[in-house]
Amino acid sequence: MLQKVENYDLEELVNFVYSIYRHTEGKYPFLEWVENKPDKNDYEKFRDIYKNFLRKRIEEEFDEFYLWKNEKIISTFALVYEFKNKNIEWIPPFLAKKNSGFIEFFIVSPEYQGKGYGKIMLNKAIERLNELGKDKYVVTSSKIDAYSFYKKFGFKDFCTYKQFLIMKYGND
């Protein structure tokens, strides 16, 4: 069931993200701050690197966090739209303003990809940002599968910032 999350199991989330890391052959999450990224089969090193980073993101950066879970996590996304006292490295300063909203941490479990869950989650994120009156953005890379997914659903290349590609939804 899709729900907004207030309490979360950090270990379960790290395991979920690690499954994506393995599935993408270490391409996602980017781990751009890590000089020597862990091997895709080295869970302990991944966990050591990612756990505190994820905790910080959830507690200090995400304004809303959503989870779709049955017995295990199917999909996640977060929204970032309040930028005061936040310095999120991959969001360009000129977009850290009151009318910008970012869809972040958008992940669908490999076993559920291609079955409509991503579409439902993305539509929910877009709908929520519409309610808030925000322009909708994602931060990604053209080198991962998510890029073509976002394009399919109406996101267009907007700008590059550092090593990231910023995409904007719609024609606004």
CATH code reported for the domain at 2-169? 3.40.630.30
Give 16-69 pLDDT, tens digit per residue.
Answer: 999 999 998 888 888 887 888 899 999 999 999 999 999 999 999 999 999 999
Q: Read off the pTM.
A: 0.92
Q: Are 46 and 28 a contacting pair, CB within 8 Å?
A: no
CA distance 84 to 10: 25
Sheet holding 155-161: strands in order across? 2-4, 64-69, 73-80, 100-108, 135-140, 164-169, 155-161
Taken as a whole, the chain contains a residue count of: 172
Give 92-136 pLDDT, tens digit per residue.
Answer: 999 998 899 999 999 999 999 999 999 999 999 999 999 999 999
CA distance 166 to 6: 28
